[in-house]
Amino acid sequence: MSTYIVCTADGTILITERGETLPPELVIQENVPEGGFYIDLTGQEPFDTMDIMDINTNYKVDPKKKKLVKIEKE
């Protein structure tokens, strides 16, 4: 199972996708906005088994490190 996210340059998550295999990079890049990037989460615990809605609502991306960080809830 593969999981990846597409983000804007500031780290806003636009797309979270999960599938049997990771699509070709060219296909993923078609969805990446100018200045944006994608992160392959395949095989990274706990993201590879986490519900994709949990990723979208509970995490943000540090654009410098290109890593997911948990959103601090007040």
**Run of H or E residues at 69:** strand 67-70
- Where are the domains positioned within the chain? 2-70
**φ and ψ at residue 28, rounded to 5 degrees:** -65, -45
Provide the residue-wise pLDDT of the chain in tens; the chain has 74 residues: 899 999 999 999 999 999 999 999 999 999 999 999 999 999 999 998 899 999 999 999 999 999 999 998 77
> Which residues, at least 6 apart from 12, have a Cβ–Cβ distance to it below 8 Å?
60, 61
Do residues 48 and 17 make contact, with C-beta atoms less than 8 angstroms apart? no
Report which residue type is found at 18: R
User: What's the predicted TM-score (pTM) here?
Assistant: 0.88
Alpha-carbon gap, residue 10 to 37, rounded angstroms: 10
